[in-house]
Chains A and B, each alone.
Chain A
Amino acid sequence: MARQEKSLKSVMQMEKMQLNKNTKLWGAGGFRENRYVRSNCLENVDSNWVILPLTRWLQIVEKIDGEILRKTGIFAEAGEDIKPLLPFLDVVSVIALNFPKFSDGRSYSTAMQLKQTYCYRGELRAVGDVLIDQVSNMLRCGFDTLEVKHQLTQIRLKEYSKEIFPGFYQPGARLIRTSSQNRIWRSTAVR
């Protein structure tokens, strides 16, 4: 029994290592192509679609032309101040918010601010330690896509059709209040 457990563990360890190379992008409708490449600069990148760190993006935003800008997304660390970005939200096509550990919940609040308070309409992407048990939270906070490294999470997401909960006690993205009697918000669409 103990040995079995150990071998299972080492298999999972190996799987974990392999999947690092195998990040997949998931969103409504299932897995999709990830056009973006993460980079610290626009030069020497294989793709026209690049995600730059927020500070870097802010340095070049006024220097590059609209076509390139449209294909340039932003990566923000958990807890990073997004306020300098606010004047530009209309021109940003993707913002990737990092979860350095699944237990670090700062990017949930940043997501809520971006989507709810500042009405950001572009793609909001969760990156980093994205696991199946936090998917519901991420979607409800307004994330549109998830970059998933964890292979078991990828497998589970492949089977994911809809939220297992009948609804929630708080407002959230893609949820509407269904009755004036109860403070309950239900999903607007089958994902």
Chain B
Amino acid sequence: MYRYDEFDKAFVTARIAEFSDQINRRLVGEITEEEFMPLRLRNGVYLQLHAYMLRVAIPYGTLSSQQLRKLAYIARCYDRGYGHFTTRQNIQFNWPRLVDIPEILKELAEVEMHAIQTSGNCIRNITSDHFAGAAADEFADPRPYAEILRQWSSLHPEFSYLPRKFKIAVVGAQTDRAAIQLHDIGLWLKRNSSGKLGFTFYIGGGQGRTPMVAKLLHDFVLEEDLLSYTTAIIRIYNLYGRRDNKYKARIKILIHETGLQKLREEIEKEFAVLKASELKLHQSDIDAINTYFRAPDLTDCSEWHYNLKQLRLNDSAFGDWVNQNVTAHKHPDYAIVTISLKSTGGVPGDATSDQMDTIANLAEQYSKNELRVSYHQNLVLPHVALGDLKTIYDTLLATGLASANIGLISDVIACPGLDYCTLANARSISVAQQISTRFSSYERQMEIGAIKLNISGCINACGHHHIGNIGILGVEKKGTELYQLTLGGSAGNNCAIGEVTGRGFTADEIVDAVEVVINTYLSLRQSSEESFINTYRRIGIELFRQALYGTTRKIS
């Protein structure tokens, strides 16, 4: 894991002093709310429906035990005993007081954390593969590059007042687990034919009211040019991106209106002059960062395989959990454990202080002190010996964290919705709770198989509804909450935006509608091997529409 050096510490401390001063000036009325807003936002402070909200950065979703314990402590002392892990691998506290925020930031700084650029029209937290450094299908670890980008983007003088927010994601495995094609810049770390590392650049992905899958900008940019090329892109965006309408201000709209080819020419021109600048990454720069991300020492033990097999046979619930929540590790005697924050009837992504402490302890004892946050709003223990799985499971079971549902229908992604958010039109949490309750039977979930169900409480799409195999979007119509259904969305290697089925459903109808979709799929799939998304891709949306609305009803 990256560790702060003296400079990083001094930098974050200076930032806290600066922001504390800004808060004070706001409190005494020296600056207007209009002037304060962009300042607080770039420090992660939102004004929500009922209170201020603080979003803390978890760089590329990587946490240490000590850091998670600190988050638990902050939730306990400054909030209401819980925190919410977000779809950008961050954590949000929903009830802090503005006057406490400088104190909270000091607490965070003690464990090398901050809230810098978790909001605002700037470069946001860099996201990455939550299995980075552990996954069996990885060709290169993306975290060092995510860290290089994190540092470079912090308090960037040129890119602090962009037309709109700017999101970057980076992966380095065969499977894209970070939905890179839904980011303003998506980076895929690869090796070219001569063995050199570099990046495939995708640009202009995003969700919101105009969802778009990112386009391929450049097949292979050498790793030494990572910052120069990124700077070229963002400079062009900063100069030419629209500022007249915030809904048309993301880079995806600039690409759409200007054309990819023309924009690429502009970017290449800019890159040509930046290539030899100080932005160039030297091998020594990369090596220096790489030392922080050395793989942990892992012990070989083939015996664990046999023991695990026995334990799975003896305890079928444990077996189910291993099937669903455990992923192959680079090291054959180790595994990656995903801890589900999606209990039946619970709030997706929420964890109490006690749960965070328990998970922090597990990471300390069994996962080399390391944890990850996935954009699916779950937590991950990246380096677990096969021999420790049962002990971990038993502890999770006792804490209500043993839901064996990763990648199943109750592993719902949801935004905070109208329960917290000023932007929301409808509640998301209650729908998520109803869905996880309706489909709580493990057997039924297994029968349905791999599926992604995502819920957003408004068109801004924080709950990623566009890329849910089943997506639910809360809208407001004539004063009531209505839920639109989209089908066929997908993140990762086969990224696609879902299609709206037709008229929306009321809060009372929406879960029934989901059930209709599920039953339609079950009746039409070729075999239990054919996943929901594959069935959808084979048969299209029409049969689902007929099932939902009847054959005679006109679809709007």
A residues contacting B by CB (< 8 A) are 5, 8-9, 12, 79, 102-106, 108-113, 116-117, 131, 133-134, 136-138, 140-141, 152, 164-172, 177, 180-185
Known: A106-B238, A137-B158. 17 other contacts (CB 8 A): A12-B29, A103-B161, A104-B161, A105-B159, A105-B161, A109-B238, A137-B161, A165-B11, A165-B155, A166-B10, A169-B153, A169-B155, A170-B152, A170-B156, A177-B278, A180-B282, A180-B284
Q: A167's contact among B7, B32, B156, B157, by CB below 8 Å, is which?
A: B7
Question: Would A136 and B157 be within 8 Å (CB), given that A152-B30, A170-B152 are in contact?
Answer: yes
B161-A133 in contact (CB<8A): no
Contact with A along B266-306 (1 / 0, CB 8 A): 00000001100111001011001000000000000000000
Residues of A within 8 A of B274 (CB): 117
A110 CA to B236 CA, complexed, in Å: 10
> In the assembly, what is the distance between CA of A64 and CA of B14, in Å?
50
Pick from A109, A133, A152, A180: contact of B235, CB below 8 A: A109
Write out the residue numbers on chain A whose beta carbons fall within 8 Å of the beta carbon of B240: 79
5 contacts between A and B (CB under 8 A): A5-B29, A106-B239, A108-B238, A169-B153, A180-B284
Q: A183 to B151, Cβ gap below 8 A? A: yes
Residues 29-40 of chain B, each 1 if its beta carbon lies under 8 Å from chain A, else 0: 111100100110
Q: How far is the CB of A71 from chain B (nearest CB, A)?
A: 29
B residues apposed to A, CB below 8 Å: 5, 7, 10-11, 14-15, 17-18, 22, 28-32, 35, 38-39, 121, 148, 151-162, 235, 238-240, 243, 273-274, 277-279, 282, 284-285, 288
CB-CB under 8 A from B282, the residues of chain A are 180
Nearest residue (CB) in B for A112 is B158
**Chain A neighbourhood of B10, CB < 8 A:** 166
- Nearest chain A CB to B11 CB, angstrom units: 6
Q: Is the CB of B14 within 8 A of A164?
A: yes
- Chain A: minimal CB distance from B507 (Å): 37
Inter-chain contacts of B278 with A (CB < 8 A): 171, 177, 185
* Separation of A53 and B55 alpha carbons in the complex (Å): 43
- Known contacts A102-B35, A112-B235; A9/B11 CB under 8 A: no
CA distance A184 to B240 in the complex (A): 29
In the bound assembly, the distance between CA atoms of A136 and B158 in angstroms comes to 11
A5-B29, A171-B278, A183-B285 are known contacts. Are A140 and B157 too (CB-CB below 8 A)? yes
Tell me, in angstroms, the Cα distance from A106 to B243 when the chains sit together.
10
* A177: B residues at CB distance < 8 A: 278
Contact of A169 among B30, B39, B154, B243 (CB under 8 A): B154
Interchain CA distance A136-B273 in the complex, whole Å? 24
B29 adjacent to A169 (CB under 8 Å): no
Q: Given A104-B161, A105-B161, A137-B157: A182 and B35 within 8 A (CB)?
A: no
Interface centre among A103, A116, A185 (most CB of B within 10 A): A103
Beta-carbon nearest neighbor of B21 in chain A = A164
B17 touches A164 (CB 8 A): yes
- Judge whether B7 and A108 touch: CB under 8 Å: no
Task: State how many angstroms separate the Cβ of A163 from the closest Cβ of chain B.
Answer: 9
Cβ of A12 to closest chain B Cβ, rounded Å:
7
> Shortest Cβ distance from B8 into chain A, in angstroms?
9
From B121, B239, B243, B282, residue with most partner A Cβ within 10 Å: B239
Instruction: Say yes or no: B38 contacts A103, CB within 8 Å.
Output: yes
Residues of B within 8 Å of A12, CB to CB, are 29-30, 32
Pairs of residues from A and B, 10 with the lowest C-beta to C-beta distance, nearest first? A105-B161, A140-B157, A171-B278, A169-B151, A137-B157, A166-B10, A108-B158, A8-B29, A109-B238, A165-B14
Contact of A131 among B15, B17, B35, B159 (CB under 8 A): B35
Q: Point out the residue from A9, A109, A152, A166 that lies within 8 Å of B158, measured CB to CB.
A: A109
The CA-CA distance from A152 to B32 in the complex, in Å, is 12
A137 / chain B contacts, CB cutoff of 8 Å = 157-158, 160-161
> In the bound complex, what is the Cα–Cα distance between A104 and B238 (angstroms)?
9
Complex interface: chain B residues within 8 A of A165 (CB)? 11, 14-15, 155
Give Cα A182–Cα B292 distance, bound, in whole angstroms: 13
A181 to B29, CA, bound (A): 43
- Asked whether A172 and B239 contact (CB < 8 A) given A12-B29, A183-B151, the answer is no
Contacts of B29 in A (CB 8 A): 5, 8-9, 12
Instruction: List residues of chain A with CB within 8 A of the CB of B277.
Output: 116, 171
Given the complex, which residues of B lie within 8 Å of A113, measured CB to CB? Answer: 235
Partner of A166, one of B11, B18, B154, B235: B11
Does the CB pair A105–B152 fall under 8 Å? Answer: no
Shortest Cβ distance from A119 into chain B, in angstroms? Answer: 11
Which of A112, A140, A172, A184 is within 8 Å of B7, CB to CB?
Answer: A184
Closest chain B residue, CB of each to CB of A172: B157
B156→A105 contact, CB < 8 A:
no
Q: How far is the CA of A106 from the CA of B279 in the complex (A)?
A: 20
Residue of B nearest to A168 (CB): B155
The answer to whether B158 touches A105, judged by C-beta atoms less than 8 angstroms apart, is yes
Q: Cα distance A65–B14 when bound, in Å?
A: 50
**Nearest opposing residue in chain A for B6, CB measure:** A166
